[in-house]
Amino acid sequence: MNVDFPLILVIGTLVTGLIWLFDVMVLRPRRQRKAADAGDIDDATRQRIQRESLIVEYSIAFFPILALVLALRSFLVEPFQIPSGSMIPTLEVGDFILVNKFSYGIRLPVIGTRIIDIAEPVNGDVMVFIPPHQEEYFIKRVVGIPGDEVRYENKTLYINSVQQEQRFVTQMPPVNPTYFQYLERLGDKEHLIQRNSRPDNRTQRWVIPDGHYFMMGDNRDQSNDSRYWGLVSEDKIVGKAFAVWLHKKPGFRLPELSRNGWIE
């Protein structure tokens, strides 16, 4: 079962904030009146009467922290960890990345409704989103925006009938290779992609309607993406991935900074 952390964060902020507000407006004046009615008492007794309950004390302590985290996470930058190899070679399993939450507009937390327009995704962007078939975060590359006709033929991408350039970079291993890497250009952006050695003569076509986007992984033959489950709705966009800030290999390994850098 997936934990909906944004929803938990919103509920936690709301609950602690309401408890703090109830204390300010109701409980605190009640305690002050009780202390005043007690008359001539020592300071220790007065402090005990005016002391908040444990739940109020914790709510007052945690509310500003939760509110700050909610604001940062909802409107500025959110960290993610790459769980699969679908974006190899651009992103590897164990990469910790940063996602700009306002690149494509300011959105309300949890429900994702955009309230302020800033920019629209363009082909070549690496984007975090929620796919139509599964309520969890995915990360892929935008290869089709509203109005585009996307064609994938012989492992080559065509956008509006224009072949997207692929330049050979390397093969792995050097003898009897299993994978090939290419530098692909989408518009004015270049990025690495990876393909396996098996041929694929299929031709697939999609026309992208308004408010939707076509997503593909850079590890083209090992990516569960829009070719299989469809298009991403605009209201399911989370943000634009822009940097790798940490990497941790599986197992009992220390985090390392060797892969730090901007995401192309």
Q: Among the options 86, 101, 223, 226, which is catalytic?
A: 86
Is 86 known to be catalytic?
A: yes
Chain Cα centroid distance, residue 251: 24
Q: How far, in Å, are 48, 82, 99, 130 from residue 37 at the CA level?
A: 14, 60, 55, 58
Kindly provide the b/e burial profile for residues 155-172, where b requires at least 16 CB atoms within 10 angstroms of the residue's own CB: bebebeeeebebeeeeee
Which of 17, 23, 18, 16 shows the shortest CA–CA distance to 51?
23
Q: Among the options 59, 74, 101, 140, which is catalytic?
A: 140
Is 236 known to be catalytic?
A: no
Which backbone phi and psi does 9 adopt, to 5 degrees? -65, -45
- CB-count burial class (<10 Å; 0-12, 13-18, 19+) for 215: buried
Per the structure block, which two tokens stand in for 132?
């139509």
Kindly provide the b/e burial profile for residues 71-95, where b requires at least 16 CB atoms within 10 angstroms of the residue's own CB: eebbbeebebebebbbbbbbbebbb
Q: What is the distance between the alpha carbons of residues 225 and 230, in angstroms, rounded to a whole number?
A: 8
Q: What is the distance between the alpha carbons of residues 212 and 94, in angstroms, rounded to a whole number?
A: 29
Per the structure block, which two tokens stand in for 22?
């109830």
Residues annotated as catalytic are: 86, 140
